[in-house]
Structure 1
Amino acid sequence: MSLTANWSYPTAIRFGAGRIKEIAEACAAAGIKNPLLVTDKGLAYLPITQSTLDLMEAAGLGRAMFSDVDPNPTEMNAEAGIKVYRDGGHDGVIAFGGGSGLDLGKVIAFMAGQTRPLWDFEDIGDWWTRADPEGIAPIVAVPTTAGTGSEVGRASVITNSQTHEKKIIFHPKMLPSVVICDPELTVGMPPMITAGTGMDAFAHCLEAFCSPHYHPMSQGMALEGMRLVKEYLPRAYADGTDLEARGHMMSAAAMGATAFQKGLGAIHAISHPIGAVHHTHHGTTNAVVMQPVLRMNRPAIEDRLAKAAAYLDIVGGFDGFYDFVGKLNAELNIPANLTALGVTEPDIDALVASALQDPSCGGNPIELTKENVTQLLRDCF
């Protein structure tokens, strides 16, 4: 089976090994003539990024880059990037990298033509309608990890540097116009990042699948996304050059982010404040808290996960699924709990308060309260 295709759901996706060579065509399709490539500090001078800049330059698109992006990007990173974008007279963004580069690139494109402050567009009610849609620049997204799926998302997670809270900035036009999913770009990912980003994709699929909201398209996508992670994440972790496994994991990442239009839940609601305050890797944090969240939600999801287990060829219904998650985490050398992840002296009350404010709460199968989230967090240490 050839892992090469052109998709237009949820946006135009150029999928396949070597397709980064189509970066100039992708920019042309998005109407971009003077792009700003936005990536993170760690990727900026790696060969995959420099060769992409070479392709841009050869096509007459220049080689402008902004890479002052923290692992958990902040509004200060956004302000610096917007200034570079405006000063350079750019007309679009190439968001390049993992979740941080993709999220910040999308925010820079979104904010380039806005006059209101960033926090006015937090994902609350209809706040997105405050934006001037004509001021949103086009985006070409190029993921270099297989986890967040931000390349097919309509939102970005930005950390408020003052309050240390992760905020979700949303607008429908933040969805990139064109995506290039080239598994060759993920070959250099260290095993630890392969594991953490892969489990982020799994968490997106799992929480979307368990969400009580109605979205059958997302439901089916979440189920198949979990299967791809089950089959191919251990392979990608064991052999980073396994392009078939890398390709299927890129699909799973995009599927998870498309599926979570149906909702997320407690995994993300507690992972967001932990990451914002303790600077842990997001996907790895999701993996660490996954089993405690499954235990808490069991009364509401036992039957549903039994059906998922049957599809995934996991014996034992809910218990079999739960044990599978534990074994997968162990195989990927995921820390056993938040203490082992390096979270020390946590302010449980503050984390609970932040978790209950997180938009992900709305998709949890049981209502999240101060009492059950406090117990959940304690169970994670």
Structure 2
Amino acid sequence: MLDFSTRPDRNWSWPTAIRFGAGRIAELPAALADLGASNPLFVTDAALVSLEPAQRALGVLRDAGVPFGLFSEVHPNPTGAAVDAGVAAFRAGGHDAVIAFGGGSALDAAKAVALMVRQTRPIWDFEDVGDNWTRVDTADPVPVVAVPTTAGTGSELGRSSIITDTEAGRKMIIFHPIMMPGVAILDPELTVGLPQGLTASTGMDALCHALETFITPNFHPMADGLALQALRMIKEALPRACENGGDLEARADMLVASGMACVALQKGLGGVHALSHALGAVYDLPHGLLNAILLPHVTAENIEHARPRLTELAQLLDLPGRQAESVIAWLEGLRDQLGIPSGLAGLGVVAERQDEVIALALKDPCAAANPAPFDAALATRMLARAMG
């Protein structure tokens, strides 16, 4: 755990400039100035805008005399329509930067707004497939300051956003390197009030990023190192953050681990995310919770194709038994300890829509990196196991 007596604050280059430490939301005006911005659009979600973390950040801007606009029409699983509305608000206010504030949905929407301000093509033309990213107009990109209030997606350090195309009925990964925020402020004080259930599901989302990255057969040793360190930190910090929401050290470790896991996932993800994206599109369910439920079940179905990596992980994390099966047991135990449901049925997921979910999952870009070949038969077994 971080010792705040000897390491209170740090500035890191990642290449995103990171201002890490308790209370550093006070530096939001300085972060904007670093990016040459003076009139930002503050993008957050509808549930967070009236709560203390957002009001604190807005107060910092007001006290510093920074003019800003406010856009809070973001909901879980942000849509293309929400991005369009954010772009309209940006242009109407004559803004010159975006402050992305909140959990993964708000950060993803805000980054997509910043991207789309300068584009003439529809957002769906930039889905992370093949070389679609080369279609982006990179002239005069809109700078972003990202401030996470959950430790889950790590989107504050990522180069993509997950946006739902409601007409097509599917989630799409929108990608370009210029989507990476210029500055991220990692202030664990902003996460202290997060309810236990959200702390658990978002934390398991970060764990899922790191674990899926570590066991995918793709070759990326640098990502492996980030994923492994994230897993080590999450193993210790997540139970503590859930048990005591005021544990600032655990909150800080989770913020750092979440960001590392997000950077690592450029190596690839797998069946958990392919299925959770599909389930999220069909049922409009929270992404982090879906990942948390799916992770043990999908990993169990992948065990024979990922056995060497899972065994290595069990040994590196010093799990009882130190075998591949030990990782499954750890995930199941952690899930139960954190009060996460063991199956999908309680969320309203029904067998009658299984074919719809599987069809979307098979098209998802994450499916290609799954340790076992991700076909309809495997997806069916994974869903059946996860129904509970």
- CA offsets 1:224-243 (integer angstroms, 9 cap, x no match): 11111110101100111100
Deviations 1:103-128 (Å, cap 9, x if unpaired)?
00000000011111111111111111
| C-alpha distance after superposition, 1:134-155 (max 9, x if no partner) | 1420100000000000000000
Q: Does structure 1 residue 207 correspond to structure 2 residue 209?
A: no
Is 1:313 equivalent to 2:353 in the alignment?
A: no
Partner of 1:363: 369
Contact 2:152 2:203 in 1 (8 A): yes
Q: Tell me the secondary structure at the aligned position of residue 381 of structure 2.
A: helix
Structure 2 CA distance for partners of 1:346 and 1:66, relative to 1, 3 Å: farther
When residues 333 and 298 of structure 1 are mapped into structure 2, their CA distance, relative to the original with a 3 A threshold, is: same
CA deviation vs aligned residue, 1:287-316 (integer Å, no higher than 9, x gap): 111122112111121121111111112022
> For 2:222, what is the secondary structure of its paired residue?
helix
**2:89 — aligned with what?**
84
Counterpart of 2:144 in structure 1 is 139
Paired residue for 2:298? 293
1:344-367, CA deviations, whole angstroms, 9 ceiling, x for partnerless residues?
354111111100111111211121
Secondary structure of the corresponding residue to residue 139 of structure 2? helix
Task: Give the equivalent residue in structure 2 for 1:373.
Answer: 379
**Is the CA contact (8 Å cut-off) linking 1:202 and 1:229 kept in structure 2?**
yes
Secondary structure at 1:132's aligned position in 2?
A: coil
What is the alpha-carbon distance in structure 2 between the residues aligned to residue 70 and residue 235 of structure 1? 28
* In 2: Cα distance, 1:128 partner to 1:272 partner: 20
Which letter maps to 2:10? Answer: A
- Quick one: which amino acid aligns to residue 215 of structure 2? C
Which residue is 1:32 aligned to?
37
Does 185-194 or 54-63 show the bigger shift? 54-63
Q: Does structure 1 residue 252 correspond to structure 2 residue 253?
A: no
Q: Distance in 2 between matches of 1:210 and 1:162?
A: 34
Q: Distance in 2 between matches of 1:199 and 1:78?
A: 27
Q: How do 1:222-261 residues align onto structure 2 when only pairs under 5 Å count?
A: 222-261=227-266
Shift of 1:343: 1.9
Matched, 1:340 2:373: no
Count of residue pairs brought into register by the alignment: 381
Query: Cα offset for 1:25?
Result: 0.7
Q: Match of 1:155?
A: 160
The residue identity in structure 2 corresponding to 1:313 is D
Secondary structure of the corresponding residue to residue 174 of structure 2: strand
Q: CA deviation at 1:163?
A: 2.4
Partner of 2:335: 329
d(CA) in 1 for partners of 2:96, 2:306? 46
Give 1:370 shift.
1.4
Matches of 2:36 and 2:213 in 1, distance apart?
33
Stretch deviating more after TM superposition (58-67 or 205-214): 58-67
Tell whether the 8 Å contact from 1:10 to 1:258 is kept in structure 2 after alignment: no
Percent identity reads 49
Counterpart of 1:173 in structure 2 is 178
Contact 1:269 1:356 in 2 (8 A): yes
Classify the secondary structure of the residue corresponding to 2:288: helix
* Alpha-carbon distance between aligned partners in 2 of 1:339 and 1:70, rounded to the nearest angstrom: 23
Whether contact under 8 Å (2:303, 2:310) holds in the other structure is no
Q: Give me the whole-angstrom Cα distance separating, in 2, the residues matched to 1:123 and 1:84.
A: 26
What is the DSSP-based 3-state SS (H/G/I as helix, E as strand, rest coil) of the residue aligned with 2:147? Answer: strand
Q: Distance in 2 between matches of 1:254 and 1:3?
A: 18
334-343 or 31-40: bigger deviation: 334-343
TM-score normalised by L of structure 1: 0.98
The correspondence for 1:104, drawn from 109, 116, 121, is 109
- Structure 2: gaps (5+ residues): none
State the match for 2:19 in structure 1.
Answer: 14
Alignment partner of 2:171: what SS?
A: strand
Query: Which string of whole-angstrom CA distances, capped at 9 and with x for unpartnered residues, describes residues 226-284 of structure 1?
Result: 11111010110011110000000001110110110110000100011111211222111
When the two structures are superposed, what TM-score results if normalisation uses the length of structure 2? Answer: 0.96
Query: After superposition, what is the alpha-carbon deviation per residue over 1:185-205, rounded to whole angstroms, capped at 9, x for unaligned?
Result: 001101110000000000000
1:180 alignment partner, SS class: strand
Over aligned residues, Cα RMSD in angstroms?
1.1
* Cα distance, 1:60 vs structure 2: 2.9
**1:5: Cα distance to partner?**
1.3
Aligned partner of 2:269 in structure 1 is 264
SS of structure 1 residue aligned to 2:73: coil
Structure 1 match to 2:358? 352
How far did 1:58 drift?
2.5
- Is the partner of 2:75 in helix, strand or coil? coil
